[in-house]
Amino acid sequence: MLITMCEKELHRLGVIKDICHKRITQVAAATLLNLTRRHVQRLVNQYRLHGDIGLVSKRRNMPSNRRYPTEFKEQILNIVKDKYSDFKPTFACEKLLENHNISLSSETLRQWMVADGLWTVRRRKKRQIYQPRYRRDCVGELIQIDGSHHDWFEGRSPKCCLLVFIDDATSKLMSLYFCEAETTYDYMNVTRQYIAEHGKPIALYSDKHSVFKINSPSRKTSKQMTQYSRALYELNIELICANSSQAKGRVERANFTLQDRLIKEMRLAGINTIEEANAWVPHYISIHNTRFACLPHSTDDKHRLLQESSIELDDIFARQVSRSLTSSLTLQYDKVIYILTPTDKAKCLVGKKVMIYDYPDGTLSIQHCGESFEYSIFDKLRNVQQGEVVSNKRLGAVLAAAKRSQDEREKEPSRNRNSRMASRKAPKRAMNPVYLTDVEFKASSSRD
């Protein structure tokens, strides 16, 4: 019979054979094996009666005396099947302790879930080798940002995007913001919230999305900036674009964790809409940071105090476009012609550049050297509907907006179906503009 012995049993066998051949005494063997002399005598008797197999443990391949009762195991698996069937073992263990006051090893639960078919052991892929990079030393020195498009509400609401701001030094979640798509206005809104709560960081680390970087081959050599990068420049915040996703791996791994844990936390909390999620998400941030954040190398905080006033911030976090004022005191923006009220100051601006401030709330302001001018709207381009070039990440939101617009047009009378569709890049206007007819526009031009 083939006997398989462990290293400890093989060592004991050699010492017991020396005792039987009288090469060593039992007292010396007890010291060598760290056993009592009486136990050494028992081992010698077992060897003389049964040979080598007498030194093999009788508990081998037998269930442990410290194993959990079968009833307890069935109770745990029933709870997991009922409430946490798609949870990973570690996360399920945390919820068992938090919600059911049941303390259990995550490895034990993993083995139970694997045996019961609730968890599948996945073969790990070969890890790719990337050059390591040390964390930054201080909080606020480098903030990694990214947008994660996912079905965050598991079908209870349409798919949306989560904007994630994470600190490079500590892996702390600094801000989370749910929105319909990854747009310039949404990044401006969450950045303004971040600055109001934490202050201005040294730099933001992002990908090469068109919100952050001009990717058009014809404009790459120009010094033009996107609206978001222009806002950060005015706030004296550096914007760095990574060459690959692995370069900003902390925020990418955070997205993977959020797509697992945040979704289930919102399910347990009964969160079903973007508005509810944005109001509730600070609670999750504190839980996440307690679990995953680490201490920085230095205790210094590199966030800087905000010096700008709220009015200046309104202008900074707005889409800013310059236009030349015609001799008719008109200018065109977003498929609309705007007519300035013919005051003496407005007439002095003919041929000069004026600034258009398009705010996230939908309002619009026309200014020159900080002074605002009243205007009216002449909708000359109401029949023009040019095809838009949209980012792949915004395609879902654009299609949803197109469907809503089509449904509204179907309900309108046929005479109103040719009304102008404003560009989807700009928010819905919050004001009630005055539209001029062709006759009124010509009369106004002749008076000027």
Give 233-259 pLDDT, tens digit per residue: 999 999 999 888 888 889 999 999 999
Contact between 164 and 258 under an 8 Å Cβ cutoff? The reply is yes
In this structure, the answer to whether residues 151 and 210 fall within a common structural domain is yes
In this structure, the answer to whether residues 355 and 243 fall within a common structural domain is no
Quote the pLDDT of residue 146.
Answer: 94
Share above pLDDT 90 across residues of the chain, in percent, rounded to a whole number: 54
Residue 330 located in a structural domain:
yes
Structure confidence by residue, pLDDT tens digits, 133-179: 888 999 999 999 999 999 999 999 999 999 999 999 999 999 999 99
Strands 173-179, 160-167: pairing is antiparallel
Average pLDDT over residues 279-300: 94
In this structure, the answer to whether residues 165 and 287 fall within a common structural domain is yes
Quote the pLDDT of residue 441.
Answer: 47
Quote the pLDDT of residue 130.
Answer: 66
In order, the DSSP letters of 266-285 are: HHHHT--SHHHHHHHHHHHH
Please say if the pLDDT value at position 390 is more than 90: no
| Token couple for 169 | 């030094």
In this structure, the answer to whether residues 79 and 45 fall within a common structural domain is no
Q: Which domain holds residue 403?
A: 388-419
Question: Which domain CATH number covers 187?
Answer: 3.30.420.10
In this structure, the answer to whether residues 277 and 152 fall within a common structural domain is yes
In this structure, the answer to whether residues 28 and 79 fall within a common structural domain is no
Average pLDDT score, the chain:
84
Element (H, E) at 330: strand 330-333
Please say if the pLDDT value at position 346 is more than 60: yes
Rounded distance, CA 85 to CA 78, Å? 9
Structure confidence by residue, pLDDT tens digits, 427-443: 555 444 444 555 454 45
| Token couple for 243 | 């060459």
Residue 313 located in a structural domain:
no
Average pLDDT over residues 81-96: 93
Please say if the pLDDT value at position 120 is more than 60: yes
Contact between 142 and 296 under an 8 Å Cβ cutoff? The reply is no
In this structure, the answer to whether residues 150 and 286 fall within a common structural domain is yes
Structure confidence by residue, pLDDT tens digits, 91-112: 999 999 999 999 999 999 999 9
Please say if the pLDDT value at position 374 is more than 80: yes
Residue 363 located in a structural domain:
yes
**Which neighbouring-strand residues pair with 336?**
333
| Token couple for 290 | 């307690």
- For the chain, what is the total number of helices (H) and then of strands (E)? 14, 12
Structure confidence by residue, pLDDT tens digits, 171-194: 999 999 999 989 999 999 999 999
Quote the pLDDT of residue 5.
Answer: 80
How many CA atoms does the CB half-sphere of 330 hold within 13 Å? 15
Residue 125 located in a structural domain:
no
Give the torsion sign (CA, 113, 117, 118, 120). positive
In this structure, the answer to whether residues 14 and 46 fall within a common structural domain is yes
Residue 219 located in a structural domain:
no
How many CA atoms does the CB half-sphere of 237 hold within 13 Å? 30
Contact between 207 and 145 under an 8 Å Cβ cutoff? The reply is no
Quote the pLDDT of residue 384.
Answer: 47
pLDDT band at 365, cuts 50/70/90? very high
> Which amino acid makes up residue 135?
R
Contact between 33 and 9 under an 8 Å Cβ cutoff? The reply is no
- At 267, give phi and psi (nearest 5°): -65, -45
In this structure, the answer to whether residues 148 and 288 fall within a common structural domain is yes
In angstroms, what CA-CA distances link 64 with 3, 7, 112? Answer: 22, 21, 15
In this structure, the answer to whether residues 381 and 437 fall within a common structural domain is yes
Please say if the pLDDT value at position 418 is more than 50: no
Please say if the pLDDT value at position 85 is more than 50: yes
Please say if the pLDDT value at position 84 is more than 60: yes
| Token couple for 99 | 């919600």
Contact between 425 and 334 under an 8 Å Cβ cutoff? The reply is yes
In this structure, the answer to whether residues 169 and 268 fall within a common structural domain is yes
pTM metric for this prediction: 0.67
* Angle between helix 70-83 and 106-116 (nearest 10): 80
Structure confidence by residue, pLDDT tens digits, 306-318: 888 888 899 999 9
Residue 85 located in a structural domain:
yes
Share above pLDDT 70 across residues of the chain, in percent, rounded to a whole number: 85
pLDDT band at 58, cuts 50/70/90? confident
> What is the total count of domains within the chain?
5
In this structure, the answer to whether residues 381 and 392 fall within a common structural domain is no
Residue 307 located in a structural domain:
no
Residue 121 located in a structural domain:
no
